[in-house]
Structure 1
Amino acid sequence: MGSYGKAVMTGFICRLCSEQKKIVIHLYSSKAKEMGLMEKIRLLPITVEKYDNLPKTICEACISRLEMQFNLVVKIRKTDAIQRSHTLLHSNGRCPVECPLHRTAGPSTGK
């Protein structure tokens, strides 16, 4: 019989980093739902399905990294939308007051 320390406990393996952890969150738990973990995982280049044979838990370190990545994606999408509307609102090279970048645009906008 092998040692307990080398045993693989599938309920404690992180789906993202594959490391064995003492504290994990099950991806289909109410806490994971509350945290929006599945929504955030969908931004990754992986597929997580409820009935696949892969781990359904995620460790605290990966949750933290996932949160940072999700926040970055949200910021990038918001910035992209602002910049696109900024471009659409201009006429004659002037930055109108209703433009979301009106106060932040530099002197090259014709203010």
Structure 2
Amino acid sequence: MGSTAKAIMTGFICRLCSNQKKIVIHLYTQRAKKLELLKKIKLLPLDLTRYDNLPKTICEECINRLEIQYNMIQRIRKSHAIHRRHRMYHSNGRCPVECPLRGTVDPSWPEMALEESSV
């Protein structure tokens, strides 16, 4: 028998952080598909292919971080689309009823402009 000092911890390597973890999710399982991990990872600047020689597992900590990043990107895309529609509705300088931002107050607007617009 070998010494316990030389024993190697069993686990898997996370594709994103490269740490060895005991609990990971394999990228090509039903659970990963349900969590849309591949879709979310595609937002990262990585080359990920099914048959490369790199780890196919992700740890829970990286999954949580990936989820936060994905939600932030989705929020930015939605906000950008709203602002684009907002500009499209303002051909005459007024905010029509169908404008998605009608009635919202932007904190970057000066107070005087807000008061003048409400008159």
TM-score w.r.t. the length of structure 2 is 0.82
List alignment gaps of at least 5 residues for structure 2.
107-113
Please give the root-mean-square deviation of Cα atoms over the aligned residues, in Å. Answer: 2.1
Larger Rg: 2
| Amino acid aligned to 1:4 | A
User: Using a 3 Å threshold, how does the CA distance of structure 1 residues 109 and 21 change in structure 2: closer, same or farther?
Assistant: farther
Deviating beyond 3 angstroms after TM superposition, the runs of 4 or more aligned structure 1 residues are 108-111
- Counting aligned pairs with the same residue, the percent is 57
**Once the 2 structures are TM-superposed, how far is the Cα of residue 101 of structure 1 from its aligned partner?**
0.4
Give yes or no for the alignment of 1:78 onto 2:81: no
Structure 2 CA distance for aligned equivalents of residues 97 and 90 of structure 1 = 11
Count of aligned pairs: 108
Partner SS for 2:47: coil
Structure 2 CA distance for aligned equivalents of residues 109 and 14 of structure 1 = 56
Structure 2 CA distance for aligned equivalents of residues 26 and 43 of structure 1 = 18
TM-score w.r.t. the length of structure 1 is 0.88
List alignment gaps of at least 5 residues for structure 1.
none
